[in-house]
Structure 1
Amino acid sequence: MPLLSGRKPLSLTLTFLMFVLFLSTAACADGRVAQAPAEGRFPVPKYIFLFIGDGMGPAQVGLSGAVLDSSSTLAMTGFPVLGTITTHAEDRYITDSGAAGTALATGSKTSVGTISMKSNHRDTLRTVAELARRDGMRVGIVSSVGIDNATPACFFSHNAKRSNYYDIAAQMASSGFDYFGGGFAEGDFLQNRLNGSVNRTDIPTLMRSSGYRVVSDRSSLRSVQPGTKCWAYTGYDGKAAMSFEMDRKEQDISLAEFTREGIRLLDNPNGFFMMVEGGKIDWACHANDAAAAAHDVVAFDDAVREAEAFSRSHPDETLIVVTADHECGGLSLGNGRRGYDSRISLLRRQKVSLERFTRKVAGWQASRNVSFSMALDSVKVYFGLGDASADSSLVLSGEERTVLSKAYRGGSAKGAAGSAASGSAAGFASAVTAMLNAKAGIGWASNAHTAVPVQVFAAGVGSEAFGGYYDNTGIAGKLIRLARFGERR
């Protein structure tokens, strides 16, 4: 009898049903096969962490292995659920952090440069952080860049232009959120400019007048008591951002520390929501600085480990979601020069970021007492280039020395990876970094964002909902439904 005609034997029917049941319930260890149950069936998470690696595409995650010991792995890649999201803005295929941050914070698309408003720039969009606060949870926002930069801003403010830093920073004071940590406020640099005929109040004063304790060092932060509203920042640059991790000074607070102290301050019977951004990943990728990007991915992952440690004490109440707003730089782990013979471990030879090295070179050129041969000695120290005793791949060819010489002395040349190297401190530093990247087998498509889909890693209560392939607006939508915001009271 044909298999599909007439009545099937009972044993065959039972076997088929059991097979279908197995397929519908089984999942791979990483959660990518099984279809998640309806989100409303999950227990309601009491503690919610959303980590955003700005500019962190799949290649950036993979690249971070270059600065890890062979026995170490990233915490996020060990999470049981893996998803993928698209990142386009409402009005452009390649997004910026304003539109992408808005999507992650509100579940709605908007135009580039817009902060948690519709693209008409009249209607505001309620953020998941605001919904959490409305439902009685404490709320924390942490970032390694300026706290009024686009991604963190999308969770506590609403503005038609991401460049309105002062107006955005001022909304921290009126947000009612419990904790802000990481970078300073770029908007504070604008506070002495006249707004009409009245000077604007500086941001720290605004925060203090709204009941926040403002601290800027490790010991002061540790002294803040839970339940006290706090804005904590550390050493910052001309754009209010923390240092790249590989340049961070001992006295500067790390992203992981800001996360750990935030957990301490936010923990309470009503639960909390915390967003943590690794913003300097993006900045490193804009500069095509692979080593700095890798170090900042690891620093970001160290912050994830703080949430993971907390979740072990609250395993049935904690949800951790890690994702990115977009990819930056078109990073490839492989290039045309080395083909299959990549040497990504060479990036471990780089000791300072491109940004910091540029400042060093500018000092040399201003003093006019550092010769090119002396500069090459420093290149060997900071990047390993020219150190044949360490690795033959680090040898500088005559052509490469010529490129560096022209860049250092004020000529122009093309870097080893094809990037332009102008006769300036930035040009010389960029040529050096490009050479190390090329020798390591790293490639870059641009200095801008790309539309490459990015990963989602999730663990804890309701994490199954974050598997699969979907749009970035789905992150906030899933968080809102899982947390049942609006139904808690």
Structure 2
Amino acid sequence: MRRPGRAAYLLFLLFMISALSACRSTADGRQHQPDQQQSFPRYIFYFIGDGMGLAQVALGEALAGEQGGLAMLRMPVTGLMTTYALDRSITDSAAAGTAMATGYKTTVGTIARNDRHSADLTTIAEAARDHGFGVGIVSSVSIDHATPACFYAHADSRNEYGAIARQMAQSGFDYFGGGYALSALRDDTLDDELRRLMLQKGYTIAAGKEAIEAALPGSRCWAVGAVDSKGALAYEIDRNEEDADLAFFTRYGIRLLDHHRGFFLMVEGGKIDWACHANDGATVSREVKAFDRAIGEALAFYRSHPDETLIIVTADHECGGLALGNNQVRYSGRPSLLDYQQLSLERFSAKVRAWSGSGRVSFPMAMDSLRVYFGLGNIDLDPLLALSPPDSIDLAKAYQACMTSSEELNTYGRSDPFTSSAGALLNRKAGIGWTTGHHTSVPVPVFALGRGQERFGGSYDNTELAKKMMDLCGLSPVAKE
């Protein structure tokens, strides 16, 4: 057999040197650019539906209507992922987000640090930045909340909102979108400081659709929508049509990042979790559908770059113990009844608190509101919405209880007795049930499409998901001592 000639040998050496050089990152962490000829994806989408278990996905699919079903369910690869924290079987978003961002388990409440709080953990977003990718972080809740924070910040406690928000400017990321910083809304001095830090690092702070649309591709941008007192976007069921939704922030994230030779974009549907904490089935279904529309933006991009794109859709944990089925309706569940609900339980509860303060709304007037906003008692819409005498008695007791109480909503929008009773009643009639107002430990789904999609089937832990993504994309999780 003839030995390879000298020219072939030199070509082989040049190839190996080029390959080794491509694996190195330079001191400033920005000069390494993803090679279009390499096998790893150039465009990485990481969608996290906070609190979104299999039942939440199924509920969104059941109420998708004429839209043709959820886009995530049309992705070709499905996996199943465990979510436990290092110190607890039922995790929180900080520990789960850390595992999903770094490939390491940590303790509940910890943001991208090890369990001893002695070292920061490198996130996949930071590794992508250091390998020359553009990086974007989008969330429908405040940008300093646990899940988005786990990709750009490091903190011993998720409650260190101010310290977390300050790390946005130091992250070197290109795009933040969606919610505002809760810490800045609580402290005007911090708000001024945070804005100054972001501007000093070259970020444009664009508030509202018009300003965001004016942002130039290639510029650093913090794009903020219409937010509530917690720095979050409105629930989809409550959103004004002219306000930006999660799909908008995803679309403009792609637009702003696409000048790079590769990018990493994490998008969180954070208010799925909040609606699950409130056991608000109608709002959950709409949040899942809004999240799915954001996924649709990535799918549209994928169709133009099918050989260079990876899309992962998953959840950090399940919330609420949601079931599609209950003892009241048995096998005759009608999730479509939830479509008669016209606003979130959180928004309706604000109305009830106003009634309590004014003392001008009688029980019959309150029942009329249930008819308008939930369809309850309106048999012209559907006979299943009829109220039985026990239903009316329960609602009367709940009404009386909230008229004599000034209890405020908690962080996740748990409602007053009257609102909670109305929501629970509609849920039961629709045939869905909840076991808790908190997280559960059940595994969550993973959906994958694109280059390397075959790696994401089967059953594995949330740390393995991060490691699979890092390995596929030529990145490595590193603990910094």
TM-score (norm 2): 0.87
Q: Which residue is 1:120 aligned to?
A: 116
Match of residue 326, structure 2, among 335, 341, 355: 335
Q: Which residue is 1:143 aligned to?
A: 139
Residues 308 and 451, structure 2, Cα contact 8 Å, conserved in 1: yes
Q: How does 1:163-312 map to 2 (within 5 A)?
A: 163-192=159-188, 201-312=192-303
Letter in 1 for 2:237: M
Residues 185 and 191, structure 2, Cα contact 8 Å, conserved in 1: no
Q: Which residue is 1:35 aligned to?
A: none
Q: Which residue is 2:444 aligned to?
A: 454
Letter in 1 for 2:466: A
Q: Which residue is 1:471 aligned to?
A: 461
Residue 367 (structure 1) shift: 2.0
Q: Which residue is 1:84 aligned to?
A: 80
CA distance in 1, matches of 2:61, 2:70: 8
Residues 145 and 183, structure 1, Cα contact 8 Å, conserved in 2: yes
SS at match of 1:202: helix
Residue 192 (structure 1) shift: 4.6
Match of residue 400, structure 1, among 391, 403, 406: 391
Residue 445 (structure 1) shift: 0.5
Residues 139 and 177, structure 2, Cα contact 8 Å, conserved in 1: yes
SS at match of 2:121: coil
SS at match of 2:129: helix
Query: Does residue 434 of structure 2 align to residue 431 of structure 1?
Result: no
Structure 2, unpaired ranges of 5+: 1-36, 404-413
Residues 365 and 425, structure 1, Cα contact 8 Å, conserved in 2: no
Residue 486 (structure 1) shift: 6.6
Distance 1:237 1:59, change over 3 A: same
Letter in 2 for 1:430: S
Match of residue 102, structure 1, among 74, 98, 102: 98
Deviation digits for residues 187-209 of structure 1 (CA, Å, limit 9, x no counterpart): 1134357xxxxx78532222112
SS at match of 2:377: coil
CA distance in 2, matches of 1:394, 1:175: 52
CA distance in 1, matches of 2:170, 2:432: 45
Query: Does residue 148 of structure 2 align to residue 152 of structure 1?
Result: yes
Q: Which residue is 2:128 aligned to?
A: 132
Residues 135 and 486, structure 1, Cα contact 8 Å, conserved in 2: no
Query: Does residue 361 of structure 2 align to residue 370 of structure 1?
Result: yes
Deviation digits for residues 344-397 of structure 1 (CA, Å, limit 9, x no counterpart): 111111110000000111122222222111111111111010011111110011
Residues 349 and 415, structure 2, Cα contact 8 Å, conserved in 1: yes
Letter in 1 for 2:465: I
SS at match of 2:300: helix
Q: Which residue is 1:30 aligned to?
A: none
Residues 402 and 417, structure 2, Cα contact 8 Å, conserved in 1: no
Q: Which residue is 2:40 aligned to?
A: 44
Distance 1:190 1:371, change over 3 A: closer
Deviation digits for residues 12-36 of structure 1 (CA, Å, limit 9, x no counterpart): xxxxxxxxxxxxxxxxxxxxxxxxx
Residue 284 (structure 1) shift: 0.2
CA distance in 1, matches of 2:225, 2:466: 29
| Regions of 4+ moved over 6 Å | none
Distance 1:282 1:141, change over 3 A: same
Residues 128 and 475, structure 2, Cα contact 8 Å, conserved in 1: yes
CA distance in 2, matches of 1:49, 1:411: 44
Q: Which residue is 1:410 aligned to?
A: 401
SS at match of 1:245: coil
TM-score (norm 1): 0.86
CA distance in 2, matches of 1:122, 1:455: 32
SS at match of 1:410: helix
CA distance in 1, matches of 2:45, 2:337: 34
Distance 1:445 1:42, change over 3 A: farther
